[in-house]
Amino acid sequence: MTTKIVFHGSDIEKICEYYHLNKEDIVKFGANVNPLGLSSKVRDALASNIDLFSSYPDRNYTSLRNTISEYCNIPADFILPGNGSSELISLLIQERAPKHTLILGPTYSEYSRELSFSGSTQEYYHLQEERDFCLDIDDLCKTLENGYDFLILCNPNNPTSSAITQNELRKLIAFCAKHNIFVMIDETYVEFAPDINEITAVPLTQEFTNLVVLRGVSKFYAAPGMRLGYGVTGNMDFLAKMREKQTPWSLNSLGAYAGELMFKDQEYIQKTRNLILSERDKLYKELKELPTYKVYPAYANFILLKIQKPGLTSSDAFEACIKEGLMIRDCASFQCLDGEFIRFCIMMPEDNTRLLNVLKQL
């Protein structure tokens, strides 16, 4: 018997070792990172301000929070910067100490990992493939009546690329408020949405105190190594308790400075959105014409495909692509995803064309 090997989207070293490839030759369609790379303005400014490493950052990150406040149109007092969204997820769960958690799945595995340290039970509410992974709010609310006190969802969701509108979120969060259920929404991919204002929950933090929204710079700003994330909540008591437990200066001086520059770089923001939105639409339309795959509406910078060709597996598709130096994501490791699924993010046009040609040949 042969054991099927499933790689994570960031397992580039393992993949190269297994397939005897050089990572410099791989196009990373599995990592969901902006293909434009770091903003040139940010890169140049960081190189000129390396001496910031010789100073402690402002413990309250006042300037960074003010910049994020303008970027999100939300009060600066609502904002807690952190060492990536991973630190904030951990702090939130640690402080909230939920007993019964419901996770909207399939989704990112880090939520489950952090919950495993908290003593909370954790169950999944499955998005249904038959509904193109679009959420049935009424059905979810019925499920939440079964004793849950914490709800986690990613919007747009990874790996389905589906999204919940702000109006639907308002209805859901209001229901949760009545039933004493705290809600965490991960908006890692929200800046890639066709209309950010249609789906972001950030404005809802001014209406509800049972809500924390998390964002970061890893994907849209192509800075996963910077480890800059931020949480937004209108619950001042809860935010203060999270800050109390946070390691002082968890975000370094250069990262805090870079964050200010990133959120003000309108040229980079627009260039990214133009690239992702146009290429995503083009790929979506072409893939819809292929009987080999079912393609789902995409709000994030990646597209999920279900393989419908008999005998063709997600592992087969991964191997065919990696042999051409194209690393997609085999979704076999995602919870609640039954069937043969692959996911790939939007890269530069010439790379997207190469991938499309491989997928057409399968």
Tens-place pLDDT, residues 220-242: 999 999 999 999 999 999 999 99
pLDDT class of 5 with cuts at 50, 70, 90 = low
Closest C-alpha to 69, from 232, 217, 196: 232
pLDDT tens column, 137-195: 999 999 999 999 999 999 999 999 999 999 999 999 999 999 999 999 999 999 999 99
Mean predicted confidence (pLDDT) in 5-22: 75
pLDDT class of 1 with cuts at 50, 70, 90 = very low
Mean pLDDT of the residues in the chain: 94
Distance CA(272)–CA(191), nearest Å, equals 9
* Tally of CB atoms within 10 A around 194: 15
Indicate whether 359 pLDDT > 70: yes
Pairing of strands 211-216, 228-232: antiparallel
- Please give the pLDDT value at position 4: 60
Give percent of the chain above pLDDT 70.
Answer: 97
- Please give the pLDDT value at position 24: 86
pLDDT tens column, 272-288: 999 999 999 999 999 99
Distance CA(181)–CA(174), nearest Å, equals 10
User: In 252-275, which positions are buried (b, 16+ CB within 10 angstroms) versus exposed (e)?
Assistant: bbbbbbbbbbbbebeebbeebbeb
Least confident of 10-24, 193-207, 295-309, 310-324: 10-24
pLDDT class of 16 with cuts at 50, 70, 90 = confident
* Distance (Å) of CA 187 to CA 218, 299, 357: 12, 12, 32
- Please give the pLDDT value at position 179: 98
- Please give the pLDDT value at position 17: 83
Mean predicted confidence (pLDDT) in 34-39: 98
Letter for the amino acid at 89? I
Six-digit token pair at 177? 């408020």
pLDDT tens column, 103-140: 999 998 888 888 999 889 999 999 999 999 999 999 99
